[in-house]
Structure 1
Amino acid sequence: MKVSKVLATTSMAALALSLFGGVGANASMNKEMHHTDKSSMNMKSMHTKDKKKSMHMMKMDGLTMNMNSAMPKGLKKDTHAKFHVGEKVILKADHMKGMKNAKATVAGVYKTKLYKIDFKPTNGSKEVKNHKWVVASELSAKGALKAGKSVTVKADHMYGMKGAKGKIVSVNKGPAYTVNFKDKQTGMNIKNHKWLVQSELKAK
């Protein structure tokens, strides 16, 4: 009889330990899974924010910038410009958010006129007014390039730009600069941004 009671007591203790231990283990596992799910959600949220941030930075005149835009062929380097390749400058231009007052490095200087233009994007977006800048080799027109002249845009600085119809608003005698800079708003590094005129740069 005593042996039976001992065995029964031991069995009940083992069962209780198993039940409560299981609950504890499950609770611990659920807590860990909840923590993992929360971390995953936080990472996903951060990724989404970074993506939105990047896309916001890559907008110019309402169009998405083409970060792989090719340099026009045939441009002549300007070795007598006020700022030279490799020089550190401050940007006075505000072509996009995060650009004005950003620190930059001159990436290229070229002998060419620059043109401010209006154009209607080929992707159906609304007309872009006073876009700065395109150079002469990025425009096609009958006759001399001058203010008021109707043109076809050959530049691909932004998606929807190449092949667009537009007109010249004004002409700048140059030189034309490309720059590398860190966007002040997003912290992204922009390489070979096209184009800036000399008055849009100042010595650091």
Structure 2
Amino acid sequence: MYGAEATISGDFDTTVYSVSYIPTNGGEPVEDHKWVIHEELENPGEASLEPGDEVVMNATHMESMEGATATIDSAEQTTVYMVDFVTTDT
């Protein structure tokens, strides 16, 4: 992705979370991973979650993240951008 030209194709106001979790493949615990968005959580409800809350992630942007139980470390309201790009190495 580094150095790739990108086009912003969408922007969304949401909550982003820093989370800690154990990967579903049994790998080493991941601490303070930034970022997972509210919409990547299983049944999060409408309200933002708080530090210490436990959630199941539906995120797939990291290996063995989908289905893992995570603890919320921090939460921030922000704008998240969706981008379209072509990788520079393929």
Q: Same fold (TM over 0.5)?
A: yes
- Name 1:50's counterpart in structure 2: none
Asked whether 1:164 is paired with 2:68, we answer yes
| Offset, 1:141 | 6.8
Q: Which amino acid aligns with 2:89?
A: M
| Aligned counterparts of 2:75 and 2:5: Cα–Cα separation in 1 | 24
Name the structure where strand makes up a greater proportion of residues.
Answer: 2
RMSD: 2.6
Larger relative contact order (C-alpha < 8 A, sep ≥ 6)?
A: 2
The 1:150–1:159 alpha-carbon spacing in structure 2 relative to 1, beyond 3 Å, is: same
| Offset, 1:115 | 0.9
Asked whether 1:108 is paired with 2:10, we answer yes
| Offset, 1:165 | 1.1
- Name 1:129's counterpart in structure 2: 31
Give unmatched runs, 5+ long, in structure 1.
1-97, 190-204
| Corresponding residue pairs, total | 87
User: Is the radius of gyration larger for structure 1 or structure 2?
Assistant: 1
How high is the sequence identity, in percent, across the aligned residues?
Answer: 34
| Aligned counterparts of 1:175 and 1:117: Cα–Cα separation in 2 | 18
Per-residue CA deviations over 1:45-65 (Å, capped at 9, x if unaligned) read xxxxxxxxxxxxxxxxxxxxx
TM-score by length of 2: 0.75
| Aligned counterparts of 2:34 and 2:5: Cα–Cα separation in 1 | 18
The 1:141–1:168 alpha-carbon spacing in structure 2 relative to 1, beyond 3 Å, is: farther
Give unmatched runs, 5+ long, in structure 2.
none
Asked whether 1:178 is paired with 2:82, we answer yes
| Aligned counterparts of 1:178 and 1:135: Cα–Cα separation in 2 | 12
Aligned equivalent of 1:155, options 59, 67, 82:
59
Runs (4+) off by over 4 Å: 141-144
Aligned equivalent of 2:89, options 188, 193, 198:
188
| Offset, 1:104 | 4.2
Q: Which amino acid aligns with 1:161?
A: M
Name the structure where helix makes up a greater proportion of residues.
Answer: 1
Q: Secondary structure at the match of 1:137?
A: helix
Contact 2:38–2:44 (CA<8 Å) still a contact in 1?
no
| Offset, 1:155 | 1.2
The equivalences for 1:63-82 within 5 A come to none
Q: Which amino acid aligns with 1:188?
A: D
Q: Secondary structure at the match of 2:24?
A: coil
The 1:138–1:188 alpha-carbon spacing in structure 2 relative to 1, beyond 3 Å, is: same
